[in-house]
Structure 1
Amino acid sequence: MDFSDTVREHEALIYKLRRDLHRIPEPAYTEKKTSAYIADYLRKEGFEVTEGIAKTGVVALLPLSGPGKTLLIRSDIDALPIKEETGLPFASQHPGAMHACGHDAHMAMVLGAATILKKIGKELKGNIKFVFQPAEEGPGGAKPMIEEGVMDDPHVDYAIGCHLWPAIPEGTVGVRAGRLMAAMDRFDIRIIGKGGHGAMPHLCVDALEIGTQVVGAIQRIVSRQMNPQVPTVVTVGSFHAGTTFNIIPGTAEMSGTTRTFDKGVWKSWPERMERIIRGVCEAMGAGYELKYSQGYPPLVNDDWMSDIVRQCAAEMIGEEKVVEPEPTMGGEDMAFFLEKAKGCFYFLGVGREGGAPLHNSKFDFNEQVMLTGVELYCRIAFRLLGS
């Protein structure tokens, strides 16, 4: 089958879908216009649609010509709280919100693939679930969707998804088996001391000074307790204590993030951090509060599924344009789907000279990249579900 010609016939539609969705960006769990647009479009195309999964998630089911496996194709749908500065004629109509991470393209590609596969998938067996997931940018919508049954009825055997990626050249596809993206957690710490006069530290418990000890101690978890061959990061990104020059603060507050590719390390972080903070504070006579929020697990691609994606991409664009990207410390809750089914999450290259990065107010891309994404979804579906 000539997938390329079929996708080209839908080029204008794919661009329209992206531009329509780009105009109505909505941050996590507020994606009401977005999910309504998706659901309305899919119903008009004749799909069985379920709305309201994990608040604003949408699922469309495509039963094929006979019993077989079920493939899940996923897109995230949320936007970022960024004021758009692209100058595009279809720029955000929602002040302070923007699709600055390519989720508008992700949605358009999955909708485009759904449209095409419904027309040409008569020889396929099984089912395809098209999943439109809220809140990828946090706090995460994949896990709630799974808890509400998105992997069941019918049971999902395979899961795929992709992300626009400026770190690899435009026109390439990045596929990596195994660990691709890191686990991503957040922590918030409050040190409780005793404030007082800056001239009388002996009468105080200096929360600011104790807080700096805590920062140094948790940073040393990585350098002195972790295997140096397992990439791990801890970053304190916010520290607040005190109000003026001559008052010793009674409290200090800090927040940060941990990242790792190792699931064992990921699971150990709350206990390690609690132990370190408790030790420092007890030694200095202070109290503390720790809120440790475990976010997304490491994203690990199945070897066999990665080979399928790599082969389909090579058939389409040539082996020389299929690259192996470096693992990234960025997090992605597609990881939860890949814990439940064989799957692969891959990158579509949009890198070009002078291009803005993800999460930037001027982020944009060459829309023709979406045609590659749609065709690759179709090829993978035919490879996995074809008779």
Structure 2
Amino acid sequence: MRLETIAEQWLRDRYPDMVRWRRYLHQYPELSFQEEKTSRWIGDKLLEMGCEIKTGVGGNGIIATIQGKLPGPVVALRADIDALPIQDEKTCEYASKVPGVMHACGHDGHTAALLAVADFYNANKDKIAGERRLLFQPAEEVTPGGAIRMVEEGALDGADVIYGVHLWSPIPYGYASSKAGDFMSAADEFVIDIEGKGGHGGLPHNAVDAVMVGAALVQGVQTIVSRSVNPLHPAVVTIGSFQAGTTNNIIAERCQLKGTVRAFDETTRFMIHDKLEAFVRHTCEMHGASYSYHMRVGYPPVVNDAAEASRFFAVAEALFGPEGVIEAEPITVAEDFSYYLQKKPGCFMFVGAGNPDCGAVYSHHHPKFDIDERAMEKSASLLIGLAEHYARQHS
């Protein structure tokens, strides 16, 4: 009997454990780069299962290694473990007990699902062909992220392929989605500080109005995408914060803009960086203002391997049914799973976790975010299915 077939009943039996684990993590979230207690808790669970683990990888990361008795490939599976600086506004027994911190993106569910995968594989070592390497990664939410450090510290050394799942509330429970090639965009952050010359609101000719310069930038930078970017290469420039001034009759001396650049194509991405800085420089020079400009380069695009995306569709259709598998459109949100895919072939995918019947209707990063917890069982089954499908073809 195939391992994934054995896993179906195993995971059904372990579903109450997944729920309990997820709800514990939901009550005690920790921010990126601060996941010490979370990491210890995960490590203790893995040791109780009998897994061989390595702790402190890339900060608070853990690698669990399960070596099969049969020859075969090394398949890596990843979950992220960090939470967000958001106050939990849900009314439920498992709401966050940490003020201002919550799992508002499903990472608690990712972790619980991968723990169930670890338990299954450790109990079925004699049936595994090759190695299953499970990565519990810290700091996905904050650049430079935890993935790049885990890669630098050997998390993928000797691995043949890697898979990752994101529980996704915009997709209903019972569905899964991914695509070959460009899947998720790069995401970079910029800060522009403008310094003009303050003055009286009735005497603008004696001042350099930082608000006016900032407003010109807000309007003008949109022409970078509309007139400098190939329309076949999707990109976004958004200014999300504009801070200036104190009252109605004083011309502001200073202004600060914060924004983000999103793109799938690396050439387009860095062309936008250059154009943006040039636009800031010329606009400030034209109006007699000075400026500082800082671009923080974030995660690269998530680019799924074509062969592994095809594997996803084959495995997912068996698990969700043909009607339950969706060809994804590219999405302009970022994920540091991209660093793994730069090193090894693999696939990142969404598993539907939305359901109005259980309140899972809010977007990711919303203070009332929740998931249909049954999606954890689906995601665990998908990860095992992909790993075993790959192992059969490469053993």
Report the TM-score, using the length of structure 2 for normalisation. Answer: 0.93
Q: Kindly tell me the number of residue pairs found equivalent between the two proteins.
A: 385
**Residue 95 (structure 1) aligned with residue 99 (structure 2):** yes
1:162-181 → structure 2 map (5 Å cutoff): 162-181=165-184
Q: Whole-Å Cα distance in 1 between the matches of residues 252 and 353 of structure 2?
A: 48
Q: Whole-Å Cα distance in 2 between the matches of residues 236 and 177 of structure 1?
A: 30
Q: Whole-Å Cα distance in 2 between the matches of residues 362 and 251 of structure 1?
A: 36
**Residue 33 (structure 1) aligned with residue 40 (structure 2):** no
Q: 2:150 aligns with which of 145, 150, 154?
A: 145
**How far off its partner does 1:357 sit?**
2.1
Partner SS state of residue 296, structure 1: coil
What does residue 213 of structure 1 align with?
216
Q: Whole-Å Cα distance in 2 between the matches of residues 34 and 325 of structure 1?
A: 32
1:167-316 → structure 2 map (5 Å cutoff): 167-316=170-319
* Preserved CA contact (<8 Å) 2:66 2:125: no
1:310-333 per-residue CA deviation (whole Å, 9 max, x = no partner) reads 111112221121111222111111
Partner SS state of residue 89, structure 1: coil
Q: Whole-Å Cα distance in 2 between the matches of residues 7 and 199 of structure 1?
A: 71
**How far off its partner does 1:67 sit?**
4.7
**How far off its partner does 1:112 sit?**
0.6
Q: 1:384 aligns with which of 364, 377, 390?
A: 390
1:332-371 → structure 2 map (5 Å cutoff): 332-353=335-356, 355-371=361-377
**How far off its partner does 1:378 sit?**
1.3
**Residue 4 (structure 1) aligned with residue 4 (structure 2):** no
* Preserved CA contact (<8 Å) 1:168 1:325: no
Q: Which has the higher mean CA deviation after the structures are superposed, 274-283 or 290-299? A: 274-283
1:120-131 → structure 2 map (5 Å cutoff): 120-131=124-135
What does residue 330 of structure 2 align with?
327
Equivalent AA in structure 2 for residue 4 of structure 1: E
1:51-84 per-residue CA deviation (whole Å, 9 max, x = no partner) reads 2222211111222225542211111111112222
Equivalent AA in structure 2 for residue 368 of structure 1: R
Q: 2:112 aligns with which of 102, 108, 112?
A: 108
Q: Whole-Å Cα distance in 1 between the matches of residues 314 and 124 of structure 2?
A: 21
The two structures, once aligned, show a CA RMSD in angstroms of: 1.6
Partner SS state of residue 118, structure 1: helix
What does residue 17 of structure 1 align with?
21
Q: Whole-Å Cα distance in 2 between the matches of residues 206 and 11 of structure 1?
A: 60
Structure 1 consecutive aligned stretches of length 4 or more whose deviation exceeds 4 Å: none
* Preserved CA contact (<8 Å) 2:121 2:128: no
Q: Whole-Å Cα distance in 2 between the matches of residues 361 and 245 of structure 1?
A: 34
Q: Which has the higher mean CA deviation after the structures are superposed, 116-125 or 215-224? A: 116-125
Structure 1 gaps of 5+ residues are none
* Preserved CA contact (<8 Å) 1:28 1:134: yes
Partner SS state of residue 69, structure 1: strand
Partner SS state of residue 124, structure 2: helix
Partner SS state of residue 326, structure 1: coil
**How far off its partner does 1:178 sit?**
1.4
Report the TM-score, using the length of structure 1 for normalisation. Answer: 0.95
Partner SS state of residue 297, structure 2: strand
Partner SS state of residue 202, structure 1: helix
Partner SS state of residue 168, structure 1: strand
Partner SS state of residue 19, structure 2: helix
* Preserved CA contact (<8 Å) 2:80 2:139: yes
Partner SS state of residue 87, structure 1: coil
